[in-house]
Amino acid sequence: MSEEVPGRDGPADRGHSMRRWSQVVGISLGVQALVLGLGGGVVAAVTYAAMILLQGAIWGTLPDSRWVILPVMVAGGAAIGLTRLMAAGPGLEEQIAQARNPLAIHRREAAWVALGAILAVAFGGAIGPEAGILAVTAQLSSIVSLRLARSAATRRRLAEAGIAGALSGVYGSPAGGPIHAEAKDAVPRPLLILAGLAGFMGFVVTAEFMMDGAIGMMRLPRLTVESTIWDTALACLAGAAGAAVGAAFLWLRARTAAILARACASRFWQPVAGGAAAGLVCTAAPILLFSGHNEIGEMLRLGAEHGPALLVLLGLGKALACALCVGSNWQGGVVFPMCFAGGAAGAAVLFLLPGLDPVLGVAAGMSAAAAVGMRRPLVAGAIMLFTIGGGLAVAVLVGTLIGWYTLRLLPLDPVEADSHAS
């Protein structure tokens, strides 16, 4: 029999010490993730405020006429083209993938990408603010994580905490950010959830402190409707319409990118051409400017006055405007434009059926279009459940499932195909 030597730790003591050390490390990592998530939400709010202030400075000084839209968007395309001469920015999903590795972030290039994305929102692009916010957050998260962590794994976890916090604030969903930020490899989910909650709170408090009513400007409209036994069946009709609009966006985006790649290889002229094309579309219908979440109420009012045919045109027009911007390298997200497009398509379906509340169609159409347009059904569903409002959970879930099934029928996205091949 072996005896433990006095003064030395035995196996039981060493095991206890190891468990205590693991707990200390876990708590320390949790605190760091909480701080980085909170910081990501604060940075997201500040960047968003900068976008809105610049947007107001540009459009608020111009005459209230549709004829200024085209020259402004062409000028915006030129400004974005200049930033692309300095650094060709990746898409949103590529940005998220790069941001997970702080050592891979080139801060000078990230700064130009952030500026280009801020300009894209400010000059009226039919896109969301996610790309610019994420570019700024990624830079700051990389700096902090490199200073706080020695191991690559810990730096990666902290970087993803910053991403989760920023996206939770932008999406207005504490669950949407962690789900979108989560990598395929195992990053502890509790860390991302903690960071997402902190980022959401940081965004809300900071945005409201900087600009009264900022959260109301950022959020999707709160919708509600009385539940009926036919909700699921009706949501299927509206969800199918929303999914069709989302699929149309993907096709139009791919066609825009392919045409510009053949006709114009210049980093500068591609966003100029996209700005001109999107400017023509938005001149025909100024409601298609910007990301679209603030215009959903006006879109529904126009539908009630002029009928479902106009809603179909607005939904397809928003998909086209967003595809022209994204396909020509105006940096931005697609979730909010897809909410507008899918909401219009879903409402149009239920406007055709007398006596039904089209709000049910808006919720299902939004969810399906966002799921397809983002190619992220879980992210889209989490955003919609948190932001649309009570009484519409069935419509959101049905729309998300229809979007998920539609994606299974569509060909693989070129960006995803490249990532799989590599």
* More confident site: 286 or 354: 286
Angle between helices 107-122 and 69-86 in degrees, nearest 10: 180
- Residue 9 placed within a domain: no
One domain for residues 50 and 136:
yes
Kindly report the CATH number assigned to the domain that includes residue 274. 1.10.3080.10
Q: Which residue has the tokens 């402190």?
A: 209
Q: Is residue 360's pLDDT more than 90?
A: no
Average pLDDT, the chain: 81
Q: Could you give the CA distance from residue 82 to residue 271 in angstroms, rounded to a whole number?
A: 10
For residue range 261-271, list pLDDT tens digits in order. 888 878 899 99
- Residue 131 placed within a domain: yes
193 contact partners, CB below 8 Å, separation of at least 6: 174, 175, 178
Residue type, 119: L
Contact between residue 383 and residue 335 where contact means Cβ atoms under 8 Å apart: yes
One domain for residues 183 and 119:
yes
Q: What's the confidence (pLDDT) of residue 108?
A: 67
Distances from the Cα of 208 to the Cα of 86, 221, 298, angstroms:
34, 17, 24
- Provide the residue range defining the domain that includes 321: 231-421
Percentage of the chain modeled with pLDDT above 90:
36
One domain for residues 298 and 175:
no
- Residue 317 placed within a domain: yes
* More confident site: 296 or 225: 296
Segment 402-422 shows an average pLDDT of 69
Q: Could you give the CA distance from residue 60 to residue 184 in angstroms, rounded to a whole number?
A: 44
Assign 244 a pLDDT band (cuts: 50, 70, 90): very high
Backbone angles phi, psi at 333, to 5 degrees: -95, 170
One domain for residues 188 and 335:
no
For residue range 114-158, list pLDDT tens digits in order. 888 899 999 999 998 887 787 777 777 667 766 666 666 677 777
Q: Is residue 185's pLDDT more than 80?
A: no
Which ranges in 149-223 belong to alpha helices (H)?
152-171, 176-181, 189-210, 214-218
One domain for residues 140 and 258:
no
Alpha-carbon Rg for the chain, nearest whole angstrom, is 23
- Residue 297 placed within a domain: yes
Which ranges in 7-151 belong to alpha helices (H)?
11-59, 69-86, 92-99, 107-122, 130-148
Name the range with the highest mean pLDDT among 175-184, 194-203, 323-332.
323-332
One domain for residues 171 and 256:
no
Report which of 146, 149, 157 is spatially closest to residue 183, judged by C-alpha positions: 157
261 contact partners, CB below 8 Å, separation of at least 6: none
* Residue 100: Cβ-neighbour burial (10 angstroms; 0-12, 13-18, 19+): buried
One domain for residues 240 and 202:
no
One domain for residues 115 and 239:
no
One domain for residues 404 and 261:
yes
Q: Which helix (H) or strand (E) holds 232?
A: helix 231-263
**Tokens at residue 371, please?**
């799921």
Q: Is residue 378's pLDDT more than 60?
A: yes
Q: What's the confidence (pLDDT) of residue 39?
A: 84
Segment 297-313 shows an average pLDDT of 92
Name the range with the highest mean pLDDT among 98-107, 133-142, 283-292.
283-292
One domain for residues 183 and 257:
no
One domain for residues 210 and 316:
no
Q: Is residue 26's pLDDT more than 60?
A: no
> Which of 55-59, 218-222, 248-252 comes out lowest in average pLDDT?
218-222
The residues with which 333 forms a beta bridge, in sequence order, are 128
- Residue 224 placed within a domain: no
- Which pTM was predicted? 0.84
Contact between residue 332 and residue 293 where contact means Cβ atoms under 8 Å apart: no
Q: Could you give the CA distance from residue 411 to residue 422 in angstroms, rounded to a whole number?
A: 18
One domain for residues 209 and 287:
no
Q: Is residue 37's pLDDT more than 90?
A: no
Residue type, 48: Y
- Residue 77 placed within a domain: yes
Q: What is the largest CA-CA distance in the chain?
A: 93
Domain end (from 218, 253, 286): 218
Give the count of domains, the chain. Answer: 2
Domain end (from 162, 190, 218): 218
3-state secondary structure of 333: strand
- Residue 8 placed within a domain: no
Segment 223-242 shows an average pLDDT of 82
- Residue 46 placed within a domain: yes
The residues with which 128 forms a beta bridge, in sequence order, are 333
Domain end (from 162, 186, 218): 218
